[in-house]
Amino acid sequence: MAAADPASAESAWDWDVRSPEVQSDQLRALIDRYFDDGDVAGYASSFQTIARELTDALPDDADVEFIEGFALDYALRTQQAWLHWPDYTRDALRDWVARNQRTTLAGDRAAIEEVARDFDDTVRRVIADRRAQPGPDDDATSRLLRETIDGEPLSEDLIVSILRNWTVGELGTMAASVGILVGHLARHPDLQESLRNSPEELPAAIDEILRIHSPLVSNRRVTTRPVVLGGRSIAEGERITIFWASANRDETVFGDPDDYRPEANAPHNVLYGRGIHVCPGAGLARLELRVALSALLTGTRRIDLVLGPVDPATYPASGFRTLPVRITR
**Bridge partners, 32 (sequence order):** none
**Rounded Cα gap, residues 228 and 291, in angstroms:** 41
Residues 6+ apart with CB under 8 A from 27: 17, 18, 19, 149
What are the tens digits of pLDDT across the range 48-98?
A: 999 999 999 999 999 999 999 999 999 999 999 999 999 999 889 988 888
Residues 6+ apart with CB under 8 A from 151: none
**Rounded Cα gap, residues 158 and 61, in angstroms:** 48
Closest CA to 289 of 96, 48, 89: 48
**Bridge partners, 19 (sequence order):** 22
> Is the pLDDT score of 135 beyond 70?
no
Model confidence, pTM: 0.90
What percent of the chain has pLDDT above 70? 92
Would you put residue 255 in left (φ > 0), alpha (ψ -120 to 50) or beta?
left
**Rounded Cα gap, residues 16 and 198, in angstroms:** 40
> Is the pLDDT score of 100 beyond 70?
yes
What are the tens digits of pLDDT across the range 214-256?
A: 998 988 889 999 999 889 999 999 999 988 899 999 999 999 9
Q: What confidence score (pLDDT) does residue 106 get?
A: 81
22 — pLDDT class (breaks 50, 70, 90): low
**Mean pLDDT on 199-216:** 97
**Bridge partners, 51 (sequence order):** none
Which residue would you say has higher pLDDT here, 183 or 39? 183
Would strands 320-322 and 311-312 be described as parallel, antiparallel, or unpaired? antiparallel
The per-residue b/e assignment along 218-232, b for 16 or more CB within 10 angstroms, e otherwise, is bbeeeeeeeeeeeee
Give, for 101, the enclosing helix (H) or strand (E): helix 88-106
Q: What confidence score (pLDDT) does residue 21 get?
A: 54
Q: What confidence score (pLDDT) does residue 15 get?
A: 39
300 — pLDDT class (breaks 50, 70, 90): very high
Contact, 290 vs 203, CB < 8 A? Answer: yes
Other CB atoms within 10 A of residue 235 CB: 9
**Rounded Cα gap, residues 232 and 229, in angstroms:** 5
Q: What are phi and psi of 180, to 5 degrees?
A: -60, -45
Q: What confidence score (pLDDT) does residue 7 get?
A: 37
Domains of the chain: 6-216+254-328 (1.10.630.10)
**Mean pLDDT on 178-206:** 97
Average pLDDT of every residue of the chain: 89
What are the tens digits of pLDDT across the range 262-289?
A: 999 999 999 998 888 789 999 999 999 9
Report CA 167 to chain centroid distance, whole Å.
9
Query: Which amino acid, residue 227?
Result: V
Q: What confidence score (pLDDT) does residue 322 get?
A: 93
Q: What confidence score (pLDDT) does residue 40 get?
A: 92
